[in-house]
Chains A and B, each alone.
Chain A
Amino acid sequence: MNSALSPSAESLLTQAAFDRLLECLDANRERAGEKYEVLRLKLIKFFEWRACAVSAIDLADETLNRVARRIDGGEELQNLSNYAYGVARLVYLEKMRRMKQEEEMRGTLAEEIEDDDAHGAEQLACFERCLRKLSDGSRELIVSYYQGQRRAKITARREIANRLGIPLNALRIRAHRIRLKLEQCVLNCLDAATASK
């Protein structure tokens, strides 16, 4: 298998190495777990935003495995996030050699999104179900935030920020977090619908 992943290297990641990685993130195990998730998400997004989305999750995990092995080998790291970023860039360069395959995929993807509107009704049903699951405040915010078009939308968002007593940037982050929850909920709903067919 010719990829950035090497099954034998990956299998060398021990529980002890993983534990040390967490200790490096935070002395408190629970906070370390949260920081691990944030770092992993940043790495996944790094590869996605560098146009390696197809294998972003694997590349992110490979990066974390390499970082963990270095720590387990006795490396003292001043700044784990910075170090992980450096390793990610190396993994990215290795992956770039195999980018040709992803370039071949690009030609078909735009058409696939258009054709998939046949499943629009299912998406909408899941979206409405997930919208109802949100708290009242979150539901109100997300609906108000995305209503309207162009300039009217911008004006409306300023008004929402005023009413809530928060800066526009803070409103944007709140909307982003609620949107992420909705997206995950819709994904789970669609998976459940697929599994039940």
Chain B
Amino acid sequence: MGAVEDDQRRDYLLGQLSESEVERVEEEYFADDEAFEHLSAVEDDLIDAYALHQLSRIDRRRFEERLVLSPAQRQRVRFARTMLHAVSGSHETTQRVPSLRGTAPWWASPFAFVRTLNPALSLTAAAVLILAALFGWRLIHRSSVTPTPDHQAQQVGTPSPQPGNDNTLQASQFPSPTNQSTVPDREPTIAPKQSKTVLAFTLVAGLVRDAGASNRLVIPRDVGQVRLDFSIAESDELATFRAELRKAEGGLVWPARSVRVESRTKGQVKLSLDVPSAPLKDGDFILTINKAAKNGSPETVADYTFRVVRK
């Protein structure tokens, strides 16, 4: 069986595949990060088509039944509408952006053309180009070097230059999926083993980034763990909470964990969360507190922004 194609990915997202085909798509993206990114890019295309009313009536219904079920998915559609309106129609936004400069080096131009062909044709064309380069090099080399007995003796044991390897090296410098990290750029988020020193901070609610004065955490290097204390308004005495810590610019720092209830008074709950200090590097963070709702869906009840300064 070959790799999953884009049409199949699209059908997967719209719920049009058989169970065995669904499993094939899912097994592929769980095993291969690049396949996962391809599928996510196909989802982008579907969202754009939906936002621009370019889907057929049937596909539109399928899209709505599967891919706009949550607030986050609805926001993705809104974002798509905003972006497509801004970049494809808005004069003000795009006139400030200079036209895309070519970044391919001059010697890569023939290879750039080749890469846009279908795979079989591109392989043949690439092979022809490499052979032509090799032939040209051989012609030049023969005309510039006249072997003498001494010269030949010096050459014994010296590997001859391999233009094929040079081309391969140059090709590997192209920013293609096969030589790029397929893992999205994220800073390390997991702490190494820590010392036992624990430092506690009390957080003030709010998402204002410049509330640094009230939520500024100065963490010395020798601190192993940080305890974050905070209060939220909550009258349900049986409510349970989970916390998720992210960097302000995005990226998970500490996965969703249960939050410890320290005390409950009328309408207020005091909570605390222990976090290893290692992932808390200099920068801004957002701590999101979710309450487990009766219908199973988590509800965000508070967000805390804080700035970390490591000393």
Chain A residues proximal to chain B, CB less than 8 Å:
1-5, 7, 10-11, 18, 22, 29-38, 40-42, 45-46, 48-49, 51-58, 61, 64, 79, 81-82, 84-85, 98, 101-102, 105-106, 109-110, 112-113, 116, 119-120, 123-124, 127-128, 131, 136-137, 139-144, 146-149, 158, 160-170, 172-177, 179-188, 191-192, 194-196
- The verdict on B27 contacting chain A, using a C-beta distance below 8 Å, is yes
A163-B103, A165-B112 known; A123 vs B79 contact (CB < 8 Å): yes
> Could you say which of A33, A112, A140, A149 has the most chain B C-beta atoms within 10 Å of its C-beta?
A33
* Closest chain B CB from A183 CB (angstroms): 5
* A106→B73 CA distance, assembly (Å): 12
Please tell me if the beta carbons of B79 and A127 are within 8 angstroms of each other in the complex.
Answer: yes
Please tell me if the beta carbons of A58 and B296 are within 8 angstroms of each other in the complex.
Answer: yes
* A52→B296 CA distance, assembly (Å): 12
Contacts of B190 in A (CB 8 A): 22, 29-30, 32-33, 36
- The verdict on B309 contacting chain A, using a C-beta distance below 8 Å, is no
- The verdict on B72 contacting chain A, using a C-beta distance below 8 Å, is yes
- Extra contacts, 9 of them, besides A37-B252, A109-B74 (Cβ < 8 A), are A51-B65, A58-B297, A81-B30, A139-B97, A146-B88, A170-B175, A174-B175, A184-B249, A192-B207
**Closest chain A residue, CB of each to CB of B284:** A188
Contacts of B83 in A (CB 8 A): 127, 146, 179, 182
Q: Could you mark each residue 71-108 of chain B with 1 if its beta carbon is under 8 Å from any beta carbon of chain A, else 0?
A: 01111111101111111100001100111111111001
- The verdict on B13 contacting chain A, using a C-beta distance below 8 Å, is yes
Contacts of B75 in A (CB 8 A): 183, 187
A-B contact pairs, 15 of them (CB 8 A): A1-B296, A4-B296, A42-B36, A58-B296, A61-B256, A109-B64, A128-B86, A136-B98, A147-B87, A166-B104, A173-B34, A176-B44, A183-B79, A184-B249, A192-B208
Please tell me if the beta carbons of B69 and A165 are within 8 angstroms of each other in the complex.
Answer: no
Q: Which of B138-146, B147-155, B180-188 contacts A (4 or more CB under 8 A)?
A: B180-188
* Closest chain B CB from A36 CB (angstroms): 7
A3-B296, A102-B69, A113-B74 known; A184 vs B37 contact (CB < 8 Å): no
- The verdict on B68 contacting chain A, using a C-beta distance below 8 Å, is yes
Contacts of A161 in B (CB 8 A): 112, 115-116
Total A-B residue pairs with C-beta atoms closer than 8 Å? Answer: 264
- The verdict on B250 contacting chain A, using a C-beta distance below 8 Å, is yes
Chain B residues proximal to chain A, CB less than 8 Å:
12-13, 15, 26-27, 29-31, 33-34, 36-41, 43-44, 48, 64-70, 72-79, 81-88, 93-94, 97-105, 108-109, 111-113, 115-116, 174-177, 180, 183-186, 188-192, 206-209, 240, 248-252, 255-256, 258, 279, 286, 292, 294-298, 303
Contacts of A64 in B (CB 8 A): 255
Please tell me if the beta carbons of A186 and B79 are within 8 angstroms of each other in the complex.
Answer: yes
* A166→B179 CA distance, assembly (Å): 12
* Closest chain A CB from B197 CB (angstroms): 17
Task: Determine which of B64, B69, B115, B286 lies in contact with A54 in the assembled complex, contact meaning CB atoms within 8 Å.
Answer: B69
* Closest chain A CB from B146 CB (angstroms): 38
Contacts of B87 in A (CB 8 A): 142-143, 146-147
Please tell me if the beta carbons of B82 and A48 are within 8 angstroms of each other in the complex.
Answer: no
Please tell me if the beta carbons of B104 and A164 are within 8 angstroms of each other in the complex.
Answer: yes
Task: Determine which of A32, A34, A102, A140 lies in contact with B98 in the assembled complex, contact meaning CB atoms within 8 Å.
Answer: A140
Task: Determine which of B68, B73, B94, B102 lies in contact with A164 in the assembled complex, contact meaning CB atoms within 8 Å.
Answer: B102
Please tell me if the beta carbons of B206 and A162 are within 8 angstroms of each other in the complex.
Answer: no
* Closest chain B CB from A182 CB (angstroms): 7
Task: Determine which of B15, B76, B104, B240 lies in contact with A7 in the assembled complex, contact meaning CB atoms within 8 Å.
Answer: B240
